[in-house]
Amino acid sequence: MEDLFFDFDAQDASTDFAFWGQMDPSFPQIHSQLDTLLFDCGAMAGQLSPWSSYGCQSVFPEAQLTFTDLDSQSPQLEVGAEVDSSLLDEPHEMTQQQQRCLATHHPYKVQRHAANIRERKRMLSINSAFEELRCHVPTFPYEKRLSKIDTLRLAIAYIALLREILLSGCDPKSYVDECMKNGYKNQTNAIWNTSDLTARLSWIKWD
């Protein structure tokens, strides 16, 4: 029974089989950029970007604005409307006049902006989950980064195939070989047809 299991995570670095989380050289940079963008409030001391919480100069160098600059910027913005609510927790970062302006004149906008930040954080957590999922679905070494929808569809097909292998009781490698030769019997997913999947699995060095 034990030999029914094949652990993709156990593939060593020498394998041609690759997972995106392991092969995408830009991922750590992107991730750290996002971290910086969302959480490095210290970088915004006295300055605000049009996207408020985006205080990272390296990403939006042109977007560094003073508080009062916001008044004359994007038509969507009114003064104080895009101020990171976290700043309200740090009175030393803003003048009392600025705080009053926020709290008194635009309570809705402050609330709305706080909601925007929460939403961005929520989307970030979803995206990090997608990155994690990308690490666990089979991809070709030369394949470009999977989109979210493709990641989901491939994961579904992958799970279905693994389930079939388990239920079949066959040796995983021979099962995949059989699928390559004769096509996968359970074509449950028309979009990620599982011959794509088995082709990916065939990249695994089994021995």
Partner DNA sequence: TAGGCCATCTGGTCCT
Partner DNA sequence: AGGACCAGATGGCCTA
What span, in angstroms and rounded, lies between the C-alpha atoms of 154 and 145? 13
Q: Which is nearer to DNA, 108 or 167 (by Cβ)?
A: 108
Q: State in angstroms the smallest separation of the CB of 204 from DNA.
A: 25
Q: State in angstroms the smallest separation of the CB of 203 from DNA.
A: 20
Q: State in angstroms the smallest separation of the CB of 108 from DNA.
A: 8
Q: Which is nearer to DNA, 100 or 112 (by Cβ)?
A: 112
What span, in angstroms and rounded, lies between the C-alpha atoms of 111 and 71? 18
What is the 8-class DSSP label of residue 124?
H
Q: State in angstroms the smallest separation of the CB of 191 from DNA.
A: 11
Q: Which is nearer to DNA, 112 or 185 (by Cβ)?
A: 112
Binding site for DNA (CB under 7 A): 37, 51-52, 54, 76, 82, 111-120, 122-124, 127, 147-150
Q: Which is nearer to DNA, 126 or 186 (by Cβ)?
A: 126
Q: Which is nearer to DNA, 45 or 123 (by Cβ)?
A: 123
CA atoms within 13 A on the CB side of 54: 16
- 170-178 CB contacts, 8 Å cutoff, 24+ apart: 170/4, 171/3, 171/4, 172/4, 172/5, 172/6, 172/206, 173/6, 173/204, 173/206, 176/201, 176/202, 176/204, 177/202
Q: State in angstroms the smallest separation of the CB of 29 from DNA.
A: 13
